[in-house]
A and B are shown apart, each in its own frame.
Chain A
Amino acid sequence: MGSSQAQVGQAVGSTAAGKRPRMSGIARKEAIAGYIAISPWLLGFIIFQLAPILAAFYISSTEWRILAAPEFIGMQNFDKLLFGDDLFWQSIKVTVIYVIFRVPVSAVLSLALALLMNQQLAGRRLFRTIYYLPAVIPLVAVSMMWIWIFNPEYGVLNSFIRLFGIEGPQWIHSSRWALPALIIMSLWQVGTGMVIFLAGLQGIPAHLYEAATIDGANTWQRFLKVTLPMLSPVVLFALVMNVIGSFQIFTQAYIMTQGGPGNATLFLVLYIYRNAFEWFHMGYASALAWVLFLVVLVISLAMLRSSEHWVHYEGRTGGA
């Protein structure tokens, strides 16, 4: 606990050294300038984040078909989604499956790519570019590409599988394979994670490896005893951000599968979108949005809490 607090203190750049009982004129001027400087963010935070979150909670307690006035119905929306809406549970199920498979696999894959890129490699810059590029192009365009890649008859993927004499699945046209297909596609975009890990790897001081080698550690032992512990803060950050991002999956499902077939890819955000902007159930959609908010909050806090047990904070070089 102590170490994680120290970490927060360091991240915030604690300059609270020497608290003065009363501000001098110069300090007061500086404070006023400080408030003016951050005021755009503070205003934006209140208008575009805090107030809407609270408003969403209020709206979730109403029946609101947008054209008529909202009608207060208490907790009925939450009651309905918990006990009377199979589609809600379906959306939770597919979203959680997506997160559970996508996050660890992409973490391992991006770490592997980062380790590879951290070797002496001819044309490393070019390789890095190739691995990272898929992560920057528009998701709508990526989705179009992969609909065609996943085409059961003429797509490149099944053509490749056919080389081995096997007929590939129907991918996004099959209720069984649509979700795995979207997970596979997401692995094409592991470049961001790779770059984060690569930066972390390059921040590990070389003398630690030298010391381990002198102590007789082999490559695998060095990876386990030096690389992984030193990289663990970066791993935590990457995992938390990836979980949060993965819960928000929408575009791929909206474009490639429309949530189907048979609701096999009805992710939570897609279900929120439909309730709000196709069926105009603003109250019910807000209740769903609050569920998303709570789920993401609880899971990311749990991950941050768990970090006490596996994240190693000492001995980082650099730092703000």
Chain B
Amino acid sequence: MRNTIGLPSNRYQLLNLSSRLLIHLLALAGAAAFLVPFLWMISTSLKPMEKIFQYPPQWMPDPILWRNYIEALTVMPFGLYFRNSIYVTVLSVAGQILSSAVVAYGFARLRFPGRNILFIILLATMMLPWQVTMIPLFILYRNLDWINTYYPLIVPNFLGGSPFFIFLLRQFFLTLPLELDEAAKLDGCGPFRILWQILLPLAVPGLTTVAIFSFLWNWNEFLWPLIVLNDVDKWTIPLGLNGFRDQYGTDWNHLMAASFVASLPVIIIFFIFQSYFIQGIATTGAKG
């Protein structure tokens, strides 16, 4: 077989082996480069102050100071910021799942005049830089007395959520057989009961993907909370981290500890639900 392309088979295998070795080496080198910033963060977070400003840098902290974490998290009220972030994130995720599921159902399963043009508008809004809406919205919320409350962060999520999620769930609904709806309709089910009782239970993987991305985006959000939350007690985690830096700018061990803790929920969620992340990007990305 191999001889048809003019290579003796053992030489071909050798070539194949060396190219496989090369691929593994490349992957390893890349992985090392990608991991260094994390290791640097964790290593710094466990060092005593005097070992930080040292050249050459020491990778293994000695002694290991776990109390850096306690100090970093108590010098500013990070417990409060965590609670705030969780509150905002949980409600935002709920709003985004609910509203994007209902809207996606409408676009995927119900026929109505203007559906295609409205869906094209929805796709077009994915390309909108939202900062163009930020000043009028700030003024709107100021007039509503919503500045320094969580409403500006939460309420919009109940109205449509995100075009990405609607698109993702619509694609998901389209893969479910239409006969399900037809059969339920014959049994006298209304359209929203079909959604609630038949389609949503089948769409759990899609909903999970939406929930994870929604969690991630809301947890990480910085600019919009920066604009609407002035009160220190209202800060979310990213704002708290930013405030921490303003006050203790060169306490690198504490800053790295706080940064690591701020990232930890996301890292944990990522490891548990990895395949959903990959799938979610794949469906929205590959079919966009």
Contact = CB atoms under 8 A, between A and B. Distances in A.
Interface string A189-207: 0001001101110010000
A292 interface: yes
A137 B267 CA distance: 7
Contacts of A12: 116, 119-120
Interface stretch (B33-41, B60-68, B202-210): B33-41
Contacts of B287: 11, 319-320
Contact of A49 (B40, B125, B283): B125
A37 B262 contact: no
Interface of B: 20, 23-24, 26-27, 30-31, 34-38, 40-41, 44, 52-57, 99-100, 102-103, 105-108, 110-113, 115-116, 118-123, 125-140, 156, 158-161, 166, 171, 174, 190-192, 195, 216, 219-220, 222-223, 226-227, 237-238, 241-242, 245, 252, 255-256, 258-260, 262-263, 266-267, 270-271, 274, 277-278, 281-283, 285-288
Given A127-B31, A292-B131, A40 B102 contact: yes
B222 A140 contact: yes
A38 B282 CA distance: 25
A284 B118 CA distance: 32
A250 B130 CA distance: 13
Nearest to A27: B111
Given A14-B116, A136-B270, 7 more contacts: A11-B287, A59-B136, A66-B139, A134-B38, A138-B220, A248-B131, A272-B131
Contact of A130 (B31, B123, B242, B283): B31
A320 B167 CA distance: 12
Contacts, number: 294
Contacts of B227: 273, 277
Contact of B282 (A51, A199, A296): A199
A47 B157 CA distance: 12
Given A127-B27, A251-B223, A48 B133 contact: yes
Contact of B255 (A13, A27, A53, A144): A144
A101 interface: no
B158 to A, nearest CB: 7
A268 to B, nearest CB: 9
Given A12-B116, A34-B112, A40-B159, A250 B103 contact: no
Given A144-B255, A149-B37, A282 B223 contact: no
B99 A40 contact: yes
